Amino acid sequence: MHGIDAKQVATTLPRPKGRPDHYWEDLVAGDMVRTAGMTITDAHLVQWAGLTGDLVSLHLDETYAAETPFGQRIAHGPLTMSLGLGLMTQTGYFSNVVAWLGLDEVRALAPVFIGDTIHVDATVAMARETKKPDQGIWKIDYLVLKQDGSTVMTFSSSFIMKRK
């Protein structure tokens, strides 16, 4: 039996890859990022209510919700917003966040029902340098859309990002 040549192993084994390593320079004003989708389930509503204490009948009580103008339970607005932020995080563009600066202009435009699939189209509204040469700021405008293309929520979020 022959010994294994370490040099040969180093060149033939797959090299592990992790999350993309994105920095401030990787997005400029006007760039648009589209996320994957997520289908909203009963579990999302129940878990969000339990996590946050947001135990509103419109989200949890089928009988009550049937009598509202929506005719059925709807997702919590803050849940929809959080899922939008999370879907963007999954794109890998936030691997080098220094700080989250906050949200602005949050608008809930239409209900999200159990069974709807949402995704985000996010546009970089502003990308600017800071006084610190190793940091920049992104302001990102989020459109949360459902499967029929209708916009259910809009908001802006800003981040300080590491620079290369």
Quick one: how far is CA 107 from the chain centroid? 16
CB 101 within 8 A of CB 137: yes
Q: Which pLDDT belongs to residue 17?
A: 65
- Give the pLDDT of residue 2: 57
The token pair that represents 45 in the structure block:
């509503």
Tell me the C-alpha distance between 20 and 80, whole Å: 25
> Is the Cβ–Cβ distance between 76 and 158 less than 8 Å?
no
| Residue 113 DSSP one-character state | B
pLDDT of residue 10 exceeding 60: no
Q: Cα–Cα distance between 30 and 104 in angstroms, integer?
A: 18
Instruction: Give residue 151's pLDDT band: very low, low, confident or very high (50, 70, 90).
Output: very high
Average pLDDT in the 102-115 region?
97
| Residue 163: strand, helix, or coil | coil
* DSSP-assigned beta bridge partners for residue 128: 137
Bridge partners (DSSP) listed for residue 99: 160
Q: What's the sign of the alpha-carbon dihedral 95, 88, 155, 113?
A: negative
Is the separation of the CB atoms in 78 and 52 below 8 Å?
yes
Could you report the per-residue pLDDT of 65-91, keeping only the tens digit for each?
Answer: 999 999 999 999 999 999 999 999 999
- Angle of helix 77-89 versus helix 42-52 axis, rounded to 10: 100
Which pLDDT value is given to residue 9? 53
Amino acid 75: pLDDT? 98
Give me the chain's average pLDDT, please: 92
The 10s digit of each residue's pLDDT in 11-63 is 667 766 666 788 898 899 999 999 999 999 999 999 999 999 999 999 999 99
The predicted pLDDT at position 14 comes to: 75
- Please tell me whether residue 56 adopts helix, strand or coil conformation: coil
